[in-house]
């Protein structure tokens, strides 16, 4: 959430930023509502103060004055009721409209509405070319008895799946490898709830309910399934004040993630690329505002370290304004080479890393206190993906497939999976 004082002091910049990011917010409406709410609050405060003054001196004045004060008090009671109604009417609408304004954007972020405007930062490794007919991960998963989409659809519907045999070992091997990497870089490891209150989800900048939501909500409650443990890690410190000396606080959370993926089109809609449930290891930091830009670059380095260790070709993109989620001030994506995408292969997103500045912490009420000055301020929050298992598994199965039908396991992953190759059943 933006600071309303910043909005009022930078109206044209906030309007342009909202337009550039194709966000639904109405800056003029926010300012108008704030002005009306401020006026109603001030009126309520003045009427209550005057009412208290009358009560304090009522018994110390003569009868004519008492009669006058009694009439004024009756008028004030009516005014107080009216002002309270006005505050109650305006406050939720004001907060709702303010929440629609996206975060401001780093000056280096390119203009653009979609992926065609994202900026290539670097490419690492060359796309794999096979001297045999390559198979998709869907075919590989079926032939090696690793993935069962048909049973997943029967039991839970489309975009659900069963992982089987070495597929299970591959999943948890990737999770453990990512957790070890995060731990080496000073992150506290954490498993989180996989449900969160709607207020925590909204505080993180996501829409927990309604037509724009990508989140599964639980009927009859204020709980929803999380789409990422970014939500629950951010909520971990909600409504708290931490010592500035403890920053940065680094947490790596492992959880399942649930997403409706409504209206997701294209070839990448098939197989493991876009599913309703997957395991993910998240990287999250609470940092001093002066450190968030450096922290974002450090987080990206960790993500690159993971894919370099797997020796999967990838590229890093700086996301354009139209591709930023509402909380992000600046965001990088890593896209891994996936032979099944496009004609002859393509790059598909496997991780992201975002600096959300104080956008989430204002909503969630997460502050730090300077122990020297005693001043408080909002922390900056950052989030990134150490590994989203299904997409990384997809990339491994396709990039490491062999002519004999087997799949090699990346050397760095072998200790976690316990084997160097997944072989067809008749060769096991």
* Beta carbons within 8 Å of 113's beta carbon, 6+ residues apart: 22, 320, 322
Sequence-distant (6+) residues with CB within 8 A of 180 are none
Q: Which residue has the higher pLDDT, 376 or 264?
A: 376
The residues near 128 (Cβ < 8 Å, ≥ 6 apart) are 313, 337, 339, 345, 398, 399
CATH architecture of the domain with range 4-99: Orthogonal Bundle (1.10)
- Lowest-confidence segment of 107-111, 270-274, 406-410 by average pLDDT: 270-274
pLDDT of residue 66 exceeding 80: no
Pairing of strands 376-378, 366-369: antiparallel
C-beta neighbour count of 104 within 10 angstroms? 18
Gyration radius (Cα) of the chain, Å: 27
Render pLDDT for 111-143 as a digit per residue (tens, 0 to 9).
999 999 999 999 999 998 899 999 999 999 999
CA dist 284 → 149, 162, 190, 354 (Å): 32, 29, 11, 10
Q: How far apart are CA 319 and CA 111, in angstroms?
A: 9
pLDDT of residue 17: 96
pLDDT at 342: 76
Q: Are 40 and 52 in contact (CB under 8 A)?
A: no
Judged against a pLDDT cut of 70, whether residue 72 lies above it is answered with: yes
Q: What is the pLDDT of residues 207-217, one digit of tens each?
A: 776 666 788 99
Query: Which pTM does this prediction carry?
Result: 0.90
Q: Give the confidence band of 266 by pLDDT, cuts at 50, 70, 90.
A: low
pLDDT(410) > 70: yes
| Domain positions in the chain | 4-99, 115-427
Can you give the pLDDT at residue 270? 82
pLDDT at 428: 53
Domains 4-99 and 115-427 share a fold: no
Structure confidence at residue 54 (pLDDT): 81
Tokens of 286: 């609470």
Confidence of residue 262 (pLDDT cuts 50, 70, 90): low
Which option is the CATH number for 115-427: 3.40.50.850, 3.40.50.720, 3.30.930.10, 3.40.50.150?
3.30.930.10
């Amino acid at each position: 959430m933006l600071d309303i004082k910043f909005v009022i002091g930078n109206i044209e910049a906030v309007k342009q930023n909202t337009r550039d990011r194709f966000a639904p917010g109405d800056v003029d409406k926010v300012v108008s509502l704030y002005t009306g709410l401020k006026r109603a609050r001030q009126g309520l405060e003045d009427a209550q103060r005057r009412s208290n003054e009358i009560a304090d001196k009522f018994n110390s004045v003569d009868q004519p004055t008492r009669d006058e004060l009694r009439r004024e008090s009756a008028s004030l009671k009516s005014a107080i009721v009216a002002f309270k109604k006005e505050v109650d009417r305006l406050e939720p609408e004001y907060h709702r409209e303010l929440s629609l304004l996206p975060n401001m954007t780093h000056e280096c972020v390119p203009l653009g509405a979609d992926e065609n405007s994202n900026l290539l930062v670097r490419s690492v490794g060359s796309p794999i070319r096979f001297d045999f007919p390559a198979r998709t991960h869907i075919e590989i998963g079926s032939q090696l008895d690793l993935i069962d989409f048909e049973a997943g659809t029967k039991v839970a519907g489309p975009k659900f799946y069963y992982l089987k045999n070495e597929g299970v070992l591959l999943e948890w091997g990737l999770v453990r490898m990512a957790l070890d990497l995060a731990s080496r870089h000073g992150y506290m490891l954490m498993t989180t709830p996989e449900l969160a209150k709607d207020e925590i989800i909204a505080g993180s900048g996501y829409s927990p309910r309604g037509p724009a939501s990508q989140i599964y909500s639980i009927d009859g409650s204020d709980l929803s399934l999380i789409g990422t443990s970014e939500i629950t890690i951010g909520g971990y410190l909600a409504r708290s004040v931490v010592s500035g000396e403890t920053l940065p606080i680094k947490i790596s959370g492992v959880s399942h993630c649930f997403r409706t993926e409504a209206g997701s089109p294209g070839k990448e809609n098939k197989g493991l690329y876009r599913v309703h449930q997957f395991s993910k290891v998240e990287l999250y930091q609470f940092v001093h505002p002066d450190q968030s830009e450096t922290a974002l670059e450090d987080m990206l380095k960790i993500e690159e370290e993971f894919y370099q260790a797997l020796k999967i070709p990838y590229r890093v993109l700086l996301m354009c304004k139209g591709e930023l989620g509402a909380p992000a001030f600046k965001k990088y994506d890593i896209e891994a080479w996936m032979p099944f995408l496009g004609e002859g292969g393509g790059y598909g997103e496997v991780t992201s890393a975002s600096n959300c500045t104080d956008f989430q912490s204002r909503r969630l009420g997460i502050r730090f206190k300077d122990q020297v000055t005693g001043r408080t301020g909002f922390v900056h929050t950052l989030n990134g993906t150490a590994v989203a298992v299904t997409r990384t598994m997809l990339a491994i199965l396709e990039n490491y497939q062999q002519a004999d039908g087997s799949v090699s396991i990346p050397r760095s992953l072998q200790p976690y999976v316990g084997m160097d190759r997944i072989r067809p059943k008749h060769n096991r």
